[in-house]
Structure 1
């Protein structure tokens, strides 16, 4: 499930790949984890959107979207998060965000999105609530 996108304009990523952004996905404990690496601005989120949505569509019910490796995240990234959340919610799925960066968390809290996606600082922290919430938690809580 790993995918990489790169351009020659930025420092090396994993395994020597260069690029402004890349993503990797993997299954863990019945949940799909997608990590977004690098700069997530208007241009990159337009490029990554299709890949993220394909992962969301293929996921059973829960997706953890990891923003910890993201070096830049702005309102374009918020739009991506909300689109993924809405797509999962329509089929009683759940999106959680893994994030520990102060600036990204400030953006999530300032817009109210943190109340919906409940960011966790690590994948391990995010796994317990996803399992406990179940696939229809978004509907039960009125979100």
Structure 2
């Protein structure tokens, strides 16, 4: 199971998705649909916070890369955030995918919209 909370940060002009739980084969389809919602939003830059993710399967990484490619085609990009020694950071590092330890734009601007969703 995976939980996601999405923040719209209009000042700097990006979305932040905070993920909790596990991205595995059981939750992959829901994860894919959430990433598609992020891609379909009117923001071209998306930040995905992976700190609270306990597991990230290879297919989940592939979906993140697919989101990155789609955002880059529109002139934007994907920014992955994950502290050192977190499960997601270890797999990203092993695959050569960069992730930083902090959210951009700290201190955080006013959050206009926050939605929390639990995906099964």
CA shift for structure 1 position 30: 1.6
Query: SS at 2:27's partner residue?
Result: helix
Structure 1 unaligned regions, length at least 5: 1-19, 129-143
Query: SS at 1:43's partner residue?
Result: coil
On the 8 A contact 1:32/1:59 being kept in 2, the answer is: no
User: 2:7 aligned with 1:23, yes or no?
Assistant: no
1:12 match: none
> Quick one: which of 79, 83, 106 aligns to 2:90?
106
Where relative contact order (Cα < 8 A, 6+ residues apart) is larger, the structure is 2
User: 2:62 aligned with 1:82, yes or no?
Assistant: no
Alpha-carbon RMSD: 1.7
> Quick one: which of 1, 4, 19 aligns to 1:36?
19
CA shift for structure 1 position 127: 3.6
CA shift for structure 1 position 63: 0.4
Divergent runs of 4+, >3 A = none
On the 8 A contact 2:81/2:102 being kept in 1, the answer is: yes
Hey, which of these two has a bigger chunk of strand by percent? Answer: 2
Q: How many residues align?
A: 103
TM-score (normalizing by structure 1): 0.65
Q: Deviations over 1:60-101 (max 9, x none)?
A: 221001111211112122112101101101111110001115
